[in-house]
Each structure stands twice: as C-alpha cells, then as structure tokens.
Structure 1
C-alpha cells in the first residue's frame, strides 16, 4: 500500500511538515515579527541559499521522503508493541505473580468481610449508640470504683508490709538480746569453773 511520491510532492510534504513543526515550536508572533523585520534583499538572499541547499540535498531528501511511511512507522510510539514475544510476556507475568497473589489475598479478605457488613447488628449501630453511651458511662463508674478499691488494697498491703518489717526487726532484736544473754551466761559459767 505504499504510494510512490514524486520529487515535487516530496518537497511539498517536507515543507508542510517543517512549517507544522515551526508552528509548534515557535510562537506565531515570533515568526511574524521575524518576517516583518527582514528586508527584501535579505529575504532574497535567504531564499537563494535555501534553494541552493535544497538542490544540493535533493537526492537524499527525496530518498528520505520516499521512505517517509517507514520512518513514520518507526517513530510511532505504538510501533512494535504487538511484537512483544510470548516468552517475554510470560516472564513479566511470572515476575508479577507474587504481587498478584498478595492483591488476591487482600481481595479475598475483603470478600470475607462482606457478610459482616450486611449483617443486622451493623445496620443498627445508630440505634445502639445510646445504649453504648450508657454502658460506657456505667463502665466508667465501675472503673473509678475499682481504682479506689485498688488504692485501698495497695494501702492495706503497704501497712501489712510495714507490720511484717517491724516484726522482723523485733525478732532480730530479740534474737540479738537472747544471743547476748546466752553469751554472758557462758562467760559466767566459764569463770565459775
């Protein structure tokens, strides 16, 4: 389906493409201002230079323009996208397999939660909020009572600990006194003998 393009058509196509690129790259005001500032003699010299360069490069440009369809195909970003080999696709899918499995597990866990969301108690949350508030207030009162009882138990344990320490000290003092008395009696018996 490739069309044969003669040299005149090729040059026209090239000129239209260059003009389209200039319009995309340069603002129209800059092109118009540049053309308005040049004198006629400058424009003629520039035109002669362009004609000479076009004539000197006519064959390479013509050959490029004849292959313009191939060049356009190569410049197309979607070119070759369908040519990706099946093995490369398999390799890519195998690399992504663990990530796919993780996503599948997350989806399955959400699917497991769907029946819970459709259950009746969750639909009655707004109805049960007052009851929840009352229960929370009661629990807070119970918590305060437990806190007070805990403080009292800790105080009682501290008193018990103090009593135990005092008894220990008393027993240690009694033991020392008894040991001293026994020592004195031994010394007294030894002196008598």
Structure 2
C-alpha cells in the first residue's frame, strides 16, 4: 500500500510538468541502487512521448546517469516480467495442470509449484523496478526451467541478453525526449 501511495504522490507531482496537450501516461517507481528512489514518468500527446524522472521528493532529476539508470532498470524489469516462463506464464500453468491430469509424469507437481512461485514472485503492479526484483525473478525462473528438465542454457537468461539492445534503445529514447536539459 505504501508504494501505491508513493505512486499517487509522484503522479500528482509529475502532472505539474505536463505541457499543454500532454497527459501523464504512466509512472514507474524505480530504485536502480539502494536508497535511490526515482519515478520514471511518461507523458503523451498523441503519438509523441516525453519523459521525466522525479526524485523521491518530486523534483526533476537532471543528471544524465541517474536518468539512464532509472530508465534502464525499469526496462530490464519489464523485460524480465515479459520473458519469465516463456512470456506466457498463465498459459504454461494451465498446460501443466492439463499434463498432470492426463499424464501425471514424474516431477509435474514440482513444475507446477515452481510456476506458481514464479507467478507470485512477479506479483502484480505496482512493483518497484530494482536489481533485487531482477534477481528474484531470475532465480524463480531458473527453478522453473530446472523443474521442466532444462539443465542447459537458460532461455530466460538468453532472452534477457537479447533484450538488452531494446533496453538501451529505451534509455536512449528517454534521454532524447527528456523534458529537461540533462547534465
């Protein structure tokens, strides 16, 4: 509940920076390093998108590296959520139940438990984009992969590596469409 209250305060602070014709489209809480709470705010006007990172007190962040860290951790957490369990965790859980009911192979219960644990680890919004979230999702995903019999290269780790180009593109977009000059 505290995070939701923080988001409400950040959204109210961010709304002050919307220009005419712009709307606040979203706020992502991020903590790229312990104690470095920021809020990545997206503004939209039609197809155009601008960005602003607010500090914990609601002030605009103007340090380029801090803005980039906030954008990057937010994008990495989104990528992790979308890639975990093959990206279709609900569907996977349904298939595991069906397999248990029709075939009941050895280890299916462990796979179901691992899929449920991953779903609980991912949680539901709002959630804080932070490195420890990535660690928790990665560990839960690896347990699921192992329960499913995948002892080789982690598909999740590969998806994260492949997705890093998109993370960089996103951070570049935030920088180039930032509402304030960056230092």
Please report the TM-score for the alignment, with normalisation by the length of structure 1: 0.22
Please report the TM-score for the alignment, with normalisation by the length of structure 2: 0.23
Q: Which has the higher strand share?
A: 2
Q: If you compute each CA radius of gyration, which structure gives the higher value, 1 or 2?
A: 1
